[in-house]
Structure 1
C-alpha cells in the first residue's frame, strides 16, 4: 500500500515542501529510507519501530520503503519521524485516513522509543510554509506549540504521542491546547544610568540605535566599553510582529529554542568570545546553519576585544556588514541567511591599552603599528561611527550627577525611527539607504557642501565613507527633528570618523 504524508524541510532558512512516500508491501522484511536524508533521518528507523510497538501496535515483518521527495535536495532533521511513522501505520492498516486529513495538514515531530512526540527544530518554518501553500494546518509536538502559535490564521494541532495523532486523523479529536501567555518582553535590569559620565559614548549609541548604524569603541581597559555595549538593547524599540517571527524562525532552525525560550521576544544580543571560529560567527558547516551574525538579526552583535579575533574572522565580516545578509555556497547549493543587525566592536587602542595616556603606555612604535594593522582599512570603512572611550578621572568617578535613563533615550530613538518609517513608507532605516535615497533625503546646502568637500580632501574619504557620513548625519538630524541636514549635524557625523 502506498501512502503519501506531507512534511517540510529547509535550505538555509527557506522552507520547502517534502512529500513522504511510504510503500508497505509483502516481501523480504526491510526498512529503507531514500531521498537524500541525513544521518538523523537514517537513524529514525529504530525510533519509529520502537515507538509504534510501544504504543501497542504489532509490527508484522513487511517490506517498507520510504522516499522523501524531492529526492535531489538534501534533507535533515528529526521532525520526519512523525510523518514516516503515520505513513507506516496507515500502510499497515492500523489506522485509516478516511477523513482526508493527510492532504490538508503537514506533519512534523521527533518520535521517542515510547511513542511520545518530542520537540523538533525548524517547526515554525514548516508552519509558515503550510500557511503560504494554503494548507489547512499542521500537526506538531505539543512542546513546539508556543513557537508555532505566533503564526495566525492556520490550524495548529499539538500532539503528545502517536495516540493523539490517531485520534485526530480518525475522529477529529484535538488535545486541549495549553494557554499561551501573552507576548511580553523580558524586563532588562540594565540601564544607561549605570554608566557614569561617558557622554560622548552614550550620544554615539543613541545615534546607532536610531539609525541602525555600526560602531567601534576604542578605549583603555575598564573605561566602560562593555557596559555601554550591553545597554544598547535597553534603548532599542520593541520588536514588531514580523521581526519576532523572522528571528524566532532563525533560532528554531539553529536549535536555539527550548521550553524556557520558546519565542524570541527581546532583541537578540550576541557576544561571542574572541576565540570563536569563522564558521561559528558567519555560519556554515557541512550542512550550513546560522552563525552568530544571523542569530543577532534584528538585534546586536557585540564583538569585545575585537582585535583579538582571528584575522580571517574579522575580514569575513566585510560582506555581511555591507549587504546585511550572508551567502554560503556548498555542494548542496547556495543558502542565504539574514544579517540585519547593529554591529558593535570594542577594543583597546594598543597592546597595553594605555595609548591615550602617554605616561602609562609601554608600547613601542613597532608595537603600535603591528596592533593597528589588525584592523584593515576595508573593515574600518564599513563601520559608521568610531568613538574614543576615555578612562574616567577622579572628578567623573565621584560625580553624583547622572545622565538620561535608557527609557528617556529610547523615547528619542523611537521618535527618530518613526520619522524614518514615514520617510521610507517601510521599516527601512537610514543605514539601509541606497544611492537614490541619499540623493533624495540627504540634501546639503552650500555651507554643508563646502564642509564635506573640505573633509573629503583632508581626510581622503572614500565614496562609501562619504555615504556613511551622510547617513549618520541624516540620523542626527532625525534625532533633532530637523527636515534637512544642517552644518552642526554634518560636523557631528564627521567627529565620529577615525582620523
Structure 2
C-alpha cells in the first residue's frame, strides 16, 4: 500500500505541489529516496529513522521507497523530512491518520534525531501554495509560526515534535500557540540627526525615499557617503502587509530567517562588498538562487566604492534598474526574480579621492580622473536619477551647532509624498516607476518650464531616458512641496542633480 502526503517545493521563487509517496515492502532492508532530491534530502534518511525511533516508535527492517513527485523537477531543502516521516509511520501502521487531514493539509518541517520538528526554509511559499490549492491548512514547525501566520485564510498548525504531529493526524487536535504581534523595529542609534552639514545630500536622499529614485554620491573619503546611505532606511515608510509577505518569502527560501528575525518587517538594506561575484549580486548558480539585488527588494541596494566593482556586475544592473526584476537564464533553467529597490552608489571622484577639495590635495591628473570615472558606463549613469558631489565639512560645520532634522521629521514628509502618489496612481506606485503615458499625464509643463528643459537638453546633452528621469524627480519634488503642478523651482532643483563637474 502506498501512502501519499502533500508537501511543497520551490524553484527560484515559484512554488509547486509535491506529493511524497511512501511504499513499505518486504525484502532486503533499504531506504531509498527518488525524485531528483538534493544532498540535504538524500541525507535525511538517517535523520528520519532516528527521529521516529526516538519518538517511541519501532521500525522493523523493511524496504522503504520514497518518491517525490513530480520526479522531473529538482527539489531542495530539509522541509520534506516531516511529510516523509508521516508517510513512513502511516505505511508501517504505527499511526492511523485521518484521511481528510492527509488530503487537505500540506506538511513541511525538518526532523531532528530526537524527533523534534525544526525550523526550515520556504514556509511562506508553502502557505501561499496551500491557499491557492484550496487546502484547509499547513502543518509547519513551531519555530516557523510567525512566518506562516503572514498568510491569512488557511489554518496554520504548528508542531514542536513528531508526537504533536501524530496527535493532529489521528485526532485532529493540536495546541494553538499564540502568535506574538510583529512590530517594526528601528535602530535608534542611526538617525539623520547625527549627520552634520551635507544638506544637499540629505535632500537628495529624501527625494529618493519619496519617489523611489536612484542616487549616485561622489565625494571625498570621510565626507559621510556611507553614513548618509545607511540612514535612508530610517526615512522610508513602513512596509505594507503585502510587502512583508513578498520580502519574507524571498528571505525564507534563501534561508536567511532566524528565531530572532522570523519575519522581515523592516525594509532591507543590502550592501555587498565590491569583490562580490556577478552570481552573488544578480543571482543564479547551478540551482536558481537569489542575489543581493533580490534580497534588497522593497528596500535599498547600496554599492559602496561602486567603481571598484567588476564591470560585468555593474553592467548586469541595467535590466534590474529599468525593469525592477531580473531574468536569469542558464543551460538547464530560466528564472525571474524581483528586484524592486532604491539604488544608491557611492565612490571617490578620483583614485586619490580629493579631486573635489580646494588646494593641492589631489595628486591625480585630468586624464587619470577621467579614466577613473569612466569605469561607470554611460548606460548605467543614464539610469541614475540624481547625482551629487560631496565635499568634506568645513571647520564651522564640524564645530558649529546648526539646527538638524531628525529622521522622523523627514519621514513624515516622505510618507505624505507617497500618499499623494498613491492617490494619483490608484496603487502602490512611485514617481520613479512612471511610464511614458504617466509622464504625459502627470508631468505636464508650462511654457516657462518647457523652455528650461529645452535648454537643459542642449547644454547637458540629456538622452530621452535622462529627460524622463528629470521629469520624474521634478514630480517628486513638487509632491514633497505639496504642489499640484511642476513649477520652475522644481525643475531647476531636479536639473541641479544632473549637473556635475566631472560628468558623473
Q: TM-score, normalised by structure 1?
A: 0.97
Runs of 4+ in structure 1 over 4 Å off: none
Q: For 1:279-317, what per-residue CA distance to the aligned partner results, in whole angstroms no more than 9, with x for missing partners?
A: 111112211211111111111111111111222221111
In the alignment, what sits opposite 1:206?
206
Aligned-partner Cα distance in 2 for 1:175–1:380: 56
Aligned-partner Cα distance in 2 for 1:266–1:98: 41
In the alignment, what sits opposite 1:350?
350
1:183 aligns with 2:179: no
Matched residue count = 498
Aligned-partner Cα distance in 1 for 2:299–2:373: 28
Alignment of 1:4-403 (within 5 A): 4-177=4-177, 179-189=178-188, 190-357=190-357, 358-403=359-404
Aligned-partner Cα distance in 1 for 2:385–2:308: 21
Higher alpha-carbon deviation: 427-436 or 18-27? 18-27
Whether the 8 Å contact between 1:18 and 1:70 is mirrored in structure 2 is: yes
- How far does residue 270 in structure 1 lie from its aligned partner after superposition? 1.2
Aligned-partner Cα distance in 2 for 1:238–1:332: 39
In the alignment, what sits opposite 2:450?
449
1:475 aligns with 2:480: no
Aligned-partner Cα distance in 1 for 2:212–2:254: 24
- How far does residue 403 in structure 1 lie from its aligned partner after superposition? 2.5
- How far does residue 171 in structure 1 lie from its aligned partner after superposition? 1.3
Aligned-partner Cα distance in 2 for 1:110–1:424: 44
Whether the 8 Å contact between 1:74 and 1:332 is mirrored in structure 2 is: no
Whether the 8 Å contact between 2:98 and 2:171 is mirrored in structure 1 is: no
Whether the 8 Å contact between 1:193 and 1:402 is mirrored in structure 2 is: no
Whether the 8 Å contact between 1:448 and 1:487 is mirrored in structure 2 is: yes
In the alignment, what sits opposite 1:439?
440
**Secondary structure of the corresponding residue to residue 443 of structure 1:** coil
- How far does residue 431 in structure 1 lie from its aligned partner after superposition? 1.1
Higher alpha-carbon deviation: 25-34 or 272-281? 25-34
**Secondary structure of the corresponding residue to residue 492 of structure 2:** helix
Aligned-partner Cα distance in 2 for 1:332–1:238: 39
Aligned-partner Cα distance in 2 for 1:36–1:433: 43
Higher alpha-carbon deviation: 252-261 or 285-294? 285-294
Q: For 1:380-427, what per-residue CA distance to the aligned partner results, in whole angstroms no more than 9, with x for missing partners?
A: 111110011111111111221123221111111111000000000000
Aligned-partner Cα distance in 1 for 2:468–2:232: 24
Q: For 1:32-52, what per-residue CA distance to the aligned partner results, in whole angstroms no more than 9, with x for missing partners?
A: 212111111111112112211
- How far does residue 26 in structure 1 lie from its aligned partner after superposition? 2.0
Aligned-partner Cα distance in 2 for 1:332–1:27: 37
**Secondary structure of the corresponding residue to residue 23 of structure 2:** strand
Aligned-partner Cα distance in 1 for 2:95–2:19: 19
- How far does residue 498 in structure 1 lie from its aligned partner after superposition? 4.2
- How far does residue 332 in structure 1 lie from its aligned partner after superposition? 4.2
Aligned-partner Cα distance in 2 for 1:316–1:330: 15
Whether the 8 Å contact between 2:257 and 2:263 is mirrored in structure 1 is: yes
- How far does residue 266 in structure 1 lie from its aligned partner after superposition? 0.9
